[in-house]
Amino acid sequence: MKNESSHIAAPAVKAAAAGDKSPLDYLKHNFREYGMLITLVAIMAFFQYMTDGTLMQPLNLTNLILQNSYIVIMALGMLMVIVAGHIDLSVGSVCGFIGALAAVLMVQYDWHFVPASLACLACGALIGAAQGWFVAFFRIPSFIVTLAGMLVFKGLALALLQGQSVGPFPDSFQMLSSGFMPELLSSEGLRMSSLLLGVVLAAVLAVAGIRARANEFKHGIQAEPAAFFFIKTAAFSALLIYFSYLLSSYRGLPNVLIVMAALIFLFHFITSRTTIGRRVYAMGGNEKAAKLSGIKTERLAFYTFVNMGVLAALAGLVFAARLNTATPKAGLGFELDVIAACFIGGASASGGVGKVMGAVIGAFVMGVMNNGMSILGIGIDYQQVIKGAVLLAAVFVDVYNKNKA
Amino acid sequence: MDTILEMRDIRKTFPGVVALNKVNLRVRAGEIHAIVGENGAGKSTLMKVLSGVYPHGSYSGDIVFEGQERKFLGIHDSEQLGVIIIHQELALVPLLSIAENIFLGNETAQRGVIDWMAAHSKTQALLKKVGLKESPATLITDIGVGKQQLVEIAKALSRQVRLLILDEPTASLNENDSQALLDLLLELKGQGITCILISHKLNEISRVADAITILRDGSTVETLDCRAEAISEDRVIRGMVGREMADRYPPREPQIGETVFEVRDWNVYHPLHTDRKFIKDVNLQVRRGEIVGIAGLMGAGRTELAMSIFGRSWGRRISGQVLLNGQPVDVGTVEKAVRRGLAYVTEDRKGNGLVLNEDIQFNMSLAHLKGVSTAAVIDSGREYQVAQGYREKLRIRCSSVGQKVLNLSGGNQQKVVLGKWLFTSPEVLILDEPTRGIDVGAKYEIYTLMAQLAAEGKCIIVISSEMPELLGMTDRIYVMNEGRFIAEMPTAQASQEKIMRAIMKAS
C-alpha cells in the first residue's frame, strides 16, 4: 500500500515518451524479454570462436538438435507445470520408464511401432494423471508427489528391463530420431526441400508478425517501434534461413526437429493465445483470485500434469530411438536439465511467470554449453560446475532486473 | 494516581492518508483503560505506534512512559520496558507446547542450551496465575482459542509486563471464556498491572474499564472517566459515531422494482471447525434497482456469507436456497454463479481479486474469457478494446491497459476489479468493502458507479464497515452479528446509533 498516490502520475509520463523510442532504448526497456535470446546468441558466438567454427558445422549442429530434442520437448510441459505453480521431478524417470516399455513392447513382444508408441503415450498420460490427481485434488505438494514418482518409475524401469539393456529397435522406429526429412527435389549436395521448408517457414512467420502488428494498430494498441520490429523480424528470418541452409548442407532437417518445432509452435500458441493458457497463468499468479473468477483450478492443475506425462513419454520414445536401446539408466537426471531450462528461460519458481520461448531458449543455452564444452575437451566435472554457475547467474540477473524495475 | 503513559499529539500518515492526527492518550498507573472507536478509527495504528511497530521518526508527537520520553525503534525496545501487546490474531506457534511458546525468543538458556526443567516449572507458576490447568507440555493446537488467549497473557507476564495492551481479546471467545478473561484482567489490575483494552463490546468495557478514550477518524474525541460517574453505552456510542455527514455521496432517485434475488434459510458451517455453525438462518432479498447494505462489525460473518453464496467459496455443509426471479437456481460453483449473473467483488482485492503480476487487460477479462475469445482462442484486439472501454468508463488512471496492476493505486486497483465483474454483465453485484483503503475522490467515483448500476436495474449488495457509507448509499440495511441477521431497516429510518445499538444489544 505504500506510495499509492505518487504512482499515478509517473507511468503517464513514461507512456508519453514510449512512442518515439529508438530501437536500442526499446531493447533496454524490454531486456527481460530478449535478454535470454541475446545471451544464447552470445554463448553460441563464444563457442563458435573458441572451437574454431566446429560448433556451427552442419554435422555438429544436427547433433546438437538431436541431443537436446528430448529436453526441449519436456521443457514445454514443464513450463506449464511451473507456471501453474508446481514442479515435476519425475520426468526423467518417466522418460526412462517409457523407453523401457517401448523396448519391451517392440523388441520382446514384436509390436508394430505405431500401436506401441501410442500405448506408450497413453501410459505417459496415465502416469501424469495419477500424479496430477494427488497434487490437484488432494493438495499434496507436487514436490513430494513427483519425488515419489521419480523413485517409483526409476524402479519400475529397472524391473521392466530386468536390469539389462533391451534393443535394438525396429528400423522404422529409429527413424523418429535418426531420420531426416525425405528429399523430394533432387539436387547435388544441398537438400533443397529442407532449405525450402526453412525459407517458407521464415516467410510465414514474418508475414504473421506483420499481420499481428497491423492488427494491433487497427485496435489502437501501442506496438513496438517500427525500426525495432523490422530489425527483429529480418534478423530472425535470416537466422532461420541460415540454420536451415546449414542443416540442408548435411542431411536436411531431422524428423525430430520437425516434431519439436511443431510442438514449440503449438505450446507457444496455447500459452499465449488460448483461454486455457490464460487460466494457467492466472492460477499460478493468484490461485484464489482465479478461483473466485470461476476458473476450475483443480482440474486445470490436473491437466497440466497429464500433459507433462504425455510429453515425458514422447521424450522417452525419442531418447530410446536415438540410443536404439532402452537401458535402465536412461533418463537419469533429465528432470534437472528440464527444470533448469525453464528457470534459465525466466520462469518463476513461485508460479505465474514464464514463457514457452524462454524455456526453449533455456534448453538450448544448456545444450550449446554442453556441446561446446565437450568439443573444447572440458571434463564432465567442470562442465557441471559451469552449468550450475550459469543457472544461478541467469536467475540472479533476472531477479535483479525485476527488483530494479 | 500518577500517569504511566502519555501520548501527546500523535500524528501518523501513510502516503495519501492521515491515519492519526492530534491523538492524545493518558493512561494512569494501575487502571484498565479502554479505547473504543469504529473500524478504521485508528485504534490499531495507535497501538502500533506505541509498541514501536511504527518506529520513532515515522510519526510525530511524543510518547512518555514512566516519566521519560521514549523513542521506540522496534517492538523489542518497548517489550524491554514491559509494554506488551497481544494482537487480535494470536502470535503463538501452533505445533509447539505452551512452555515453548511462552519462552519463545526469551528462552531460559545458558550458552544456547535450554534448561527445560526451569522453563517447565516457571511455566507452571505462570499458568497458575492466569488460571490455566493445562500441562506446560500441551501443544497450542490442542487447546481452544480462549485458553490460547490466556497463554498469551502468561507469556506477557513472563516478561515483567508493566503495560499490557489487548486488541479485541474477546472477539473470538464465547461468553464463559470472555468472562474468565475479564476477571483475570481485574485480578492483574489488583497486582498493579496497567492495561489498555481495545474492544467493540461496550458491555464488557463498562464492566472493567476505569477510563474510556474514544477515537474517531484518527483523532481523540474525548476521554471519559468511569470512576467519577457511570457512563452509559449510549453516551459512548454518541462519541464514536458523532460525525457530520458532508455531501460525500452522489444523489440518487431509487427506482425499485420486484424482488430479483433471494436467499432463504442460509446456514453455513465453519470449514475447519466443522461443528461450528457460522452463518445462521440468513434470509435476504434484493429488489430490482435496489442497493442493500449489510452492516456489522468485523467478524460478524458478512464476507463469509457473501462467499458462501457465491459458488460456495467459503464454508462447509451449506444449506439453503438461492432464488433468481423467483426460481431456485444452482450457484454451487463460482462458474455457475457467474453464469447466473452473480458477481462478487472481494474485500481483499490484492489477495483474492487480482493477479497482481499481470496487466490490467489480463485481469479485466479473467472472469469472462468467453467474451474475448472465439473457440478458446483469445482475440487480443477485442480484449484490448474491452479493457480500454472500462478504463474510460471507470476512469482508471494508468499509462495503458498493458500496465501491471501491481503498480496501480488502491482506488484504481479496485476499479479494475469492478471492471472485471462488470464485463460479466451481472444481475446481482455483491460489493465487499468496496471503498476500503481508497481516497475520498475515488470513493465518490465508486459511489457514482453504484448509483448508475442500480439505475440500470441491477441488484446491489454492499458489505461495509463504514456506516456513513451504508447510510449514504443504500436503500435498506440488514444488520448482521455473529452470523445472524439481527435487524433490518429502511435506510431512511436508520442511523448509526440505531445500528450500533442493535449490534450491542445482540452481543
Residue B62 vs residues A201, B58, B162: alpha-carbon distances, Å: 73, 12, 19
Tell me the pairing of strands B60-65 and B194-198: unpaired
pLDDT at A4 over 70: no
Region of B314 (left: φ > 0; alpha: ψ -120 to 50; beta: rest) is beta
Interface contacts A/B by beta carbons within 8 Å: 129
Chain B partners within 8 Å of A15 (Cβ): 399-400
Q: Alpha helices, DSSP H only, in B159-277?
A: 175-190, 202-208, 233-241
Which one, of A252, A261, A136, lies nearest residue A204 by Cα?
Answer: A261
Report the distance separating Cα B111 and Cα B114, nearest Å.
8
Query: Does B15 contact A219 at a Cβ distance shorter than 8 Å?
Result: no
Specify the pLDDT at position A11: 38
Instruction: Mention every residue, 6+ apart, whose C-beta is less than 8 A from residue B45.
Output: B12, B19, B20, B54, B218
Give residue ranges of A with CB < 8 Å to any B CB. Answer: 1-8, 11-12, 14-15, 215-216, 218-222, 273-276, 278-279, 281-282, 285-286, 288-296, 352-353
Query: Does B362 contact A278 at a Cβ distance shorter than 8 Å?
Result: yes
Each residue's pLDDT tens digit, A266-316 = 999 999 989 999 999 999 999 999 999 999 999 999 999 999 999 999 999
Inter-residue contact A282 to A62 (CB < 8 Å): no
Report the distance separating Cα B450 and Cα B18, nearest Å.
26
Chain B partners within 8 Å of A291 (Cβ): 313, 334
Chain B partners within 8 Å of A19 (Cβ): none
Which one, of B257, B255, B281, lies nearest residue B267 by Cα?
Answer: B281
Residue A351 vs residues A283, A343, B228, B266, B308: alpha-carbon distances, Å: 8, 11, 61, 37, 27
Query: Does A222 contact B400 at a Cβ distance shorter than 8 Å?
Result: yes
Interchain contact B481–A (C-beta under 8 A): no
Please report, rounded to a whole number, the percentage of residues in chain A having pLDDT higher than 90.
Answer: 57
- Scanning B45-84 for CB atoms below 8 A from A yields none
Inter-residue contact B261 to B427 (CB < 8 Å): yes
Query: Does A292 contact B352 at a Cβ distance shorter than 8 Å?
Result: yes
Specify the pLDDT at position B39: 64
Report the distance separating Cα A341 and Cα B47, nearest Å.
49
Report the distance separating Cα B272 and Cα A400, nearest Å.
40
Specify the pLDDT at position B16: 58
Chain B partners within 8 Å of A219 (Cβ): 381-382, 384-385
Q: Is B71 exposed, middle or buried (0-12, 13-18, 19+ CB in 10 A)?
A: exposed
Question: Which strand ranges, in their side-by-side order, compose the sheet holding B316-324?
Answer: B277-287, B259-269, B316-324, B327-328
Between residues B472 and A125, which one has the greater pLDDT?
A: A125
Report the distance separating Cα A76 and Cα A359, nearest Å.
7
Residue B3 vs residues B65, B68, B256: alpha-carbon distances, Å: 8, 11, 57
- Scanning B189-228 for CB atoms below 8 A from A yields none
| Shortest distance, CA B7 to any CA of chain A (angstroms) | 25
| Shortest distance, CA B455 to any CA of chain A (angstroms) | 25
Q: What is the reported pTM?
A: 0.79
pLDDT at A3 over 70: no
Inter-residue contact B207 to B217 (CB < 8 Å): no
Chain A partners within 8 Å of B359 (Cβ): none
Specify the pLDDT at position A9: 37
Residue A333 vs residues A95, A96, A299, A397: alpha-carbon distances, Å: 10, 10, 29, 25
Inter-residue contact A246 to A61 (CB < 8 Å): yes
B contact test, residue of A222, A286, A299 with most B CBs within 10 A: A286
Specify the pLDDT at position A271: 94
Specify the pLDDT at position A17: 38
Between residues A224 and B292, which one has the greater pLDDT?
A: B292
A contact test, residue of B310, B362, B369, B398 with most A CBs within 10 A: B369
Question: Which strand ranges, in their side-by-side order, compose the sheet holding B484-490?
Answer: B342-345, B428-432, B459-463, B291-295, B476-481, B484-490
Which one, of A194, A167, A19, lies nearest residue A99 by Cα?
Answer: A167
- Which of A221, A286, A296 is facing B355, going by the closest CB pair? A286
Q: Is B312 exposed, middle or buried (0-12, 13-18, 19+ CB in 10 A)?
A: middle
Each residue's pLDDT tens digit, A36-84 = 888 888 999 999 999 998 888 888 988 899 989 999 999 999 999 999 9
* Residue-averaged pLDDT of chain A: 87
- Which of B377, B398, B420 is facing A11, going by the closest CB pair? B398
Q: With bands split at pLDDT 50, 70 and 90, how would you rate the model's confidence at A29? A: low
Specify the pLDDT at position A72: 96
Handedness of CA B390, B392, B394, B395 (dihedral sign): positive
Query: Does B358 contact A282 at a Cβ distance shorter than 8 Å?
Result: yes
Report the distance separating Cα B259 and Cα B156, nearest Å.
54
Chain B partners within 8 Å of A11 (Cβ): 398-399, 403, 407
Q: Take residue B184 and report the three cell numbers written for it.
A: 483475570
- Scanning B290-329 for CB atoms below 8 A from A yields 310-311, 313
| Shortest distance, CA A216 to any CA of chain B (angstroms) | 6
Interchain contact B456–A (C-beta under 8 A): no
pLDDT at A18 over 50: no
Query: Does A296 contact B335 at a Cβ distance shorter than 8 Å?
Result: yes
- Which of B337, B346, B407 is facing A7, going by the closest CB pair? B407
- Which of B366, B400, B439 is facing A15, going by the closest CB pair? B400
Each residue's pLDDT tens digit, B97-139 = 999 888 887 777 777 788 888 888 889 999 988 888 888 888 8
Chain B partners within 8 Å of A295 (Cβ): 334-335, 366
Chain A partners within 8 Å of B373 (Cβ): 274-275
Each residue's pLDDT tens digit, B367-399 = 999 999 999 999 888 899 999 999 998 888 888
Collect the ranges in chain B with pLDDT lower than 70.
Answer: 1, 15-17, 39-40, 172, 242-247, 437, 439-441, 507
Inter-residue contact B99 to B92 (CB < 8 Å): no
Chain A partners within 8 Å of B384 (Cβ): 219-221
Specify the pLDDT at position A5: 39
- Which of B15, B346, B370 is facing A2, going by the closest CB pair? B15
CA B206 to chain CA mean position, Å: 23
Interchain contact B443–A (C-beta under 8 A): no
* Burial letters B139-152, b for 16+ CB under 10 A, else e: ebeebeebbbbbbb
Q: Alpha helices, DSSP H only, in B373-491?
A: 380-393, 410-422, 440-455, 467-473
Longest CA pairwise span in chain B (Å): 77
Instruction: Mention every residue, 6+ apart, whose C-beta is less than 8 A from residue B299.
Output: B171, B172
Specify the pLDDT at position A19: 42
Report the distance separating Cα B450 and Cα B432, nearest Å.
13
- Which of A11, A219, A222 is facing B407, going by the closest CB pair? A11
Amino acid identity of residue B265, one-letter, is D
Chain A partners within 8 Å of B370 (Cβ): 275
Q: Which residue has the cell 482462442?
A: B377
Query: Does A8 contact B358 at a Cβ distance shorter than 8 Å?
Result: no
Residue B434 backbone dihedrals phi, psi, to 5 degrees:
-65, -15
Query: Does A293 contact B373 at a Cβ distance shorter than 8 Å?
Result: no
Q: With bands split at pLDDT 50, 70 and 90, how would you rate the model's confidence at A15? A: very low
What SS3 state is found at B494? coil
Amino acid identity of residue B253, one-letter, is E
CA B10 to chain CA mean position, Å: 23
Report the distance separating Cα B242 and Cα A41, nearest Å.
69
Query: Does A2 contact B420 at a Cβ distance shorter than 8 Å?
Result: no
- Which of A7, A15, A292 is facing B313, going by the closest CB pair? A292
